[in-house]
Structure 1
Amino acid sequence: MIATKLGISKSDSKLTMAFIYVAFISLFIGGLMGLLQTLVRSGSLSLPWGITYYQVLTVHGVILGLVLTTFFIIGFQYALMAKTVGISKKQRLYAWLSFIVMLIGTVMAAVMVLLGKASVLYTFYAPLQAHPIFYFGLALVIIGSWIACFVNFRQLYVWKKTHKDEKSPLLAFMVVINMVLWFIATLGVAAAVIVQFIPWSLGYAETINVLVSRTLFWYFGHPLVYFWLLPAYMAWYAIIPKIIGGKIFSDSLARLSFVLFLLFSIPVGFHHQLTEPGIDPTWKFIQVVLTFMVIIPSLMTAFSMFAMFEITGRRKGFRGLFGWFKHLPWKDVRFFAPMVGMLAFIPAGTGGIINASHQLNNVIHNTMWVTGHFHLTVATTVLLTFFGISYWLIPHLTGRKLTKKINNLGLIQTVIWAVGMTIMSGSMHISGLLGAPRRSAFSEYGGTAQASDWIGYQIAQAVGGTILFIGILLMVYIFLQLTFFAPKGQEEFPIAEEEVNAQPTPLFLENWKLWIGITIGLILFAYTIPFIDIILHAPTGSEPFAWPIGNS
């Protein structure tokens, strides 16, 4: 079945909406937990009923960083694939299987966290130990996402068989790149959960090599950031041009940037472990260099987007140095929300360069600066783009219209989000420079000598967090309107076309064996020797844990 020009079938709409329902439920729950955190850290609230700060912190990190993002991304990508290359009945059946497996795993992990038996934070570092059901739940979420990977791979493979010597649709190519990245990256965290954490939590293993577990986690943890980011890039490259009345600046450049993200986002986990003992500094340096390589496709994307904006504006007759910028469709929330996310990525990317720099990392390591950085990247750039996608995707799937009233509410919601995040993330960055620790409740440092330097910023975080929660409530209201109450109608699924006189896309950009082979080669180069070294030099004897704590 090839997707029609009119839209996506009802069966495919139900599939995507199932994922989006989970994402928006997660947004509400996770946002509430985030608000509670800021209130606790500012000393304004004591949690009732024996609930601990770390339960709240774990729910917030896991449900927003993993559940919301993964469900929204996979649902969105199913819609893109159905629209561009089609989906068969059998493929749709497996797609539903991926949803069910992921949902079961999510519920298992969530129950353990809510019962206080898995307060191990978003990173679930050993020697923190959760109930075995939590780890089984994580494993099911990963397995379910792998099913989604192979559904997407199969979709493109079937399309290519019937369209020989044609380049694949750009969005389908991007989806497969992102799922190849996800599959390779999750092999690390799956190995840690299945081989290390589950036997250890069940009591079959008395010891656990902490450095191995953290290395496997960050082998996954950094490309996770790009798994979040690449769907936003899909919207920027191929959907935003259509919304503003333009065309894709360069199909070749878009594909090349995604290939570079695949190559350079996985073998760089050591830059999250720069203060970790037991890793040779030479390998840390090599992975820091590889980390900085992702700056190249990021700058390519920035150039491509602003070139497209200017070309579109000039064609519409807007003159002057910045006339094209002034006349962008700022009152269209489908453009405005992702554009604010793009602009937020400028300071977010700068902060990422600081985080990955060995000397500068020592200044901000394990401080609130890192938390502020995460909130600029995933919670602003990525999430605002996802909101922007929702304004057209949800009504397209539900057969409703994005009305002027809902559009205006979306503009207000975007401004609220930008203001709240500026206050909260800004205060997190500043307090981090003053040494305020991350992952710590007010009661744990309220009596220290430095606490007076931080408390004003913690109050600012509570103010910003409150504003953000208002933005979440408004976004949930908009979601309900677009899903159930907006007027019936047909909303566009905006996919931009290439420039008419565009240069042909080189065939080697779709040489999957080449790019996956280079990716595996880079991973083996960056990890084989140091990983063997970590295992060979693990402490022996009766120590329950192989390495000390103290890493972010």
Structure 2
Amino acid sequence: MNTMVNKQDSRLAMAHIYVAIIALALGGLAGLLQVLVRTGKFELPSPITYYQVLTVHGVLLGLVLTTFFIIGFQFAALSRTLGALSQNVLRSGWIAFWLMTIGTTITAICILLNGASVLYTFYAPLQAHPAFYIGLALVVIGSWVSGFAMFASYRSWKKEHPKQVSPLLAFMVIVNMILWLVATLGVAATVVLQLIPWSLGMVDTINVLVSRTLFWYFGHPLVYFWLLPAYMVWYVIIPKIIGGKIFSDSLARMSFILFLLFSIPVGFHHQLTEPGIAASWKYLQVVLTFLVIVPSLMTAFSLFATFELYGRSKGATGLFGWFKKLPWNDARFVVPFIGMIAFIPAGAGGMVNASHQLNQVVHNTIWVTGHFHLTLATSVVLTFFGILYWLVPHLTGRVLTKAMNKLAITQALVWAFGMAIMSGSMHSVGLLGAPRRSAFSTYGNAPQALEWIPYQYAQAVGGTILFVGIILILIIFTNLAFFAPKGTTEFPVGETDNQSEPTPLFFENWKVWLTIAVALILFAYTIPFVDMIHHAPPGSKGFKLW
């Protein structure tokens, strides 16, 4: 296992991170404008529209920031654990980067010219300019090239180390990219086979239910594509940072396999109120959705077991004495830890969303937006920030100074405070029925709208605080990338506790796991999909289905 990522691999990883940071800045500004508009006291300058800004915010933060950051981090992780990337892998990585960057640029221009104000979900029958869909297709294709490059690096290592278990972090990267490639088949199908021909005028109509189903086949595992890199840090990086050991290599691998199996065939729980899907199939996918709770609980157990073992090794006594022994002055630990804590209410909210009965209360309300901001914008994003504080100086040959460390902890506290206000108000007013995606001015004369006004102001306050947090992270990133003192920063990778049982090779029997995954997907989707096509409304038969 390498101790450093070499310069060539570092440049590839940093290129991805630069794009992610630009997306964070622009998407964060769009988010600030959204919450200000929803107060009813602020108007966007013409010709900018609310839904244009909403689309910028969702696409840049939900798709661009996450995809670029995750792929950059994962290339660095493979270089650190499997050895320097080969020239072929490196070349493929750069080809993928430019495909994704060109696609992102085309998509962004289209949105800025107001040709694609269709939100980040881009549901039909909302229609965007063909360039928007073509740009998205390039981003997905580029990510596939990156994925296959990572698989090639992993395969080379396995050939050189037969009958050896791969490093845990590399194993996790491969699971996440398998998840991504399988999931993006859905969004690629609807974009290439439905939306592009439709936007070009090649067909007059498409089957909207098929389009939404293909999107949510992708949309829910997308959440786990975001989340699993955070889990990688929680499982593998944090133990090293605190000076402890990974509780169990086998448990970590099993949790990732379960995420792969149970996160894809569950898209119907986003479509519980939609007609055209039999209740029995919705019920099946709700059950599969709740099975994802199992690896989540496994992760929580493993993490806090790691913390307790470390605390006990430092002399902690009593039920919670270990808590005091954790490194509360180290931003590399504190920032992701706040993200871990945020995932407790986020997970509870996810259970509400996935429940058929409780979902009826919150469906299409701004509660869902509040939940989204707890999962992605808090648990995941704060963990990503925590990664930046050691990964960027490692890749650029610099160090995290005491001043930047203190500022990083301050940034996390500012972020948590702002998110508590904004997301809390979204959850609260969502229970009162306030719709998601809507500007205040679109509420019209709804009698209950007056009840929502205080919550709209709270969202604006929270959103403004979050924007201050974005400014702080931009300051820290700029310092770490360009101005921090030169030096050597560790890429921390934890070691398994000596008392753990050896990890069986069975976890890397990909034929078994992929066969089970495909079987679950076919079981959950084949009959409902055939029904959607068979019962397609007039005008969407045959080629027009696509």
* Aligned partner (choices 323, 328, 331) of residue 330 of structure 1: 328
1:185 aligns with 2:183: yes
2:468 is matched with which residue? 470
Write the distance in 2 (CA, Å) between the matches of 1:226 and 1:450.
36
1:197 is matched with which residue? 195
Q: 1:286-339 CA distances to partner (integer Å, 9 max, x unpaired)?
A: 000000000000000000000000000000111122111122111100000000
Q: 1:40-93 CA distances to partner (integer Å, 9 max, x unpaired)?
A: 011121000221100000000000000000000000000000111121011101
Poorly superposed stretches of 4+, deviation over 4 Å = none
Write the distance in 2 (CA, Å) between the matches of 1:124 and 1:542.
19
1:550 is matched with which residue? none
Amino acid aligned to 1:530:
P
2:161 is matched with which residue? 163
* Aligned partner (choices 33, 55, 59) of residue 58 of structure 1: 55
Deviates more, 1:476-485 or 1:318-327: 318-327
1:15 aligns with 2:19: no
1:69 is matched with which residue? 66
Return the offset for 1:542. 8.1
Return the offset for 1:99. 0.3
Write the distance in 2 (CA, Å) between the matches of 1:355 and 1:541.
33
* Aligned partner (choices 216, 219, 229) of residue 218 of structure 1: 216
* Aligned partner (choices 34, 46, 50) of residue 49 of structure 1: 46
2:351 is matched with which residue? 353
Evaluate the alpha carbon distance shift between residue 536 and residue 542 of structure 1 in structure 2; reply closer, same or farther with a 3 A threshold.
Answer: closer
* Aligned partner (choices 240, 244, 249) of residue 238 of structure 2: 240
Write the distance in 1 (CA, Å) between the matches of 2:199 and 2:6.
45
Write the distance in 2 (CA, Å) between the matches of 1:64 and 1:233.
19
Q: Is the 8 A contact 2:207 2:540 kept in 1?
A: no
* Aligned partner (choices 438, 441, 445) of residue 440 of structure 1: 438
Amino acid aligned to 1:301:
T
* Aligned partner (choices 418, 422, 425) of residue 424 of structure 1: 422
Return the offset for 1:502. 1.7
Q: Percent identity, please.
A: 68
Aligned residues: 544
Write the distance in 2 (CA, Å) between the matches of 1:228 and 1:345.
13
Q: 1:487-512 CA distances to partner (integer Å, 9 max, x unpaired)?
A: 11001110011112320112211110
Write the distance in 1 (CA, Å) between the matches of 2:409 and 2:443.
39
> What is the aligned-residue RMSD (CA, Å)?
1.4
Q: What are structure 2's unaligned runs of at least 5 residues?
A: none
Deviates more, 1:196-205 or 1:322-331: 322-331
Write the distance in 2 (CA, Å) between the matches of 1:116 and 1:144.
25
Q: TM-score, normalised by structure 1?
A: 0.97
Aligned with 2:158: secondary structure?
helix
Amino acid aligned to 2:90:
R
1:79 aligns with 2:76: yes
Q: 1:252-296 CA distances to partner (integer Å, 9 max, x unpaired)?
A: 000000000000000000000000110000000000000000000
2:26 is matched with which residue? 29
Q: TM-score, normalised by structure 2?
A: 0.98
Amino acid aligned to 1:306:
F
Q: What are structure 1's unaligned runs of at least 5 residues?
A: 548-552
Write the distance in 1 (CA, Å) between the matches of 2:305 and 2:31.
37
Write the distance in 2 (CA, Å) between the matches of 1:515 and 1:378.
27
Amino acid aligned to 1:42:
T
Q: 1:171-227 CA distances to partner (integer Å, 9 max, x unpaired)?
A: 110000000000000000000000000000000011110000000000000000000
Aligned with 1:239: secondary structure?
helix
Write the distance in 2 (CA, Å) between the matches of 1:541 and 1:61.
32
Amino acid aligned to 1:67:
V
Amino acid aligned to 1:34:
G
Write the distance in 1 (CA, Å) between the matches of 2:9 and 2:508.
27
Write the distance in 1 (CA, Å) between the matches of 2:324 and 2:532.
55
Write the distance in 2 (CA, Å) between the matches of 1:66 and 1:538.
30
Residue correspondence of structure 1 range 27-426 to structure 2 within 5 A:
27-86=24-83, 87-426=85-424
Amino acid aligned to 2:78:
M
Amino acid aligned to 2:40:
G
Write the distance in 2 (CA, Å) between the matches of 1:435 and 1:74.
38
Write the distance in 2 (CA, Å) between the matches of 1:57 and 1:470.
19
Write the distance in 2 (CA, Å) between the matches of 1:234 and 1:34.
28
Return the offset for 1:447. 3.2
Write the distance in 2 (CA, Å) between the matches of 1:518 and 1:386.
31
Deviates more, 1:504-513 or 1:181-190: 504-513
Aligned with 2:2: secondary structure?
coil
Aligned with 2:438: secondary structure?
coil
Amino acid aligned to 1:390:
L
Evaluate the alpha carbon distance shift between residue 519 and residue 542 of structure 1 in structure 2; reply closer, same or farther with a 3 A threshold.
Answer: closer
Evaluate the alpha carbon distance shift between residue 205 and residue 160 of structure 1 in structure 2; reply closer, same or farther with a 3 A threshold.
Answer: same
2:483 is matched with which residue? 485
Write the distance in 1 (CA, Å) between the matches of 2:5 and 2:539.
60
Write the distance in 1 (CA, Å) between the matches of 2:305 and 2:413.
25
Q: Is the 8 A contact 2:164 2:505 kept in 1?
A: no
Write the distance in 1 (CA, Å) between the matches of 2:417 and 2:112.
31
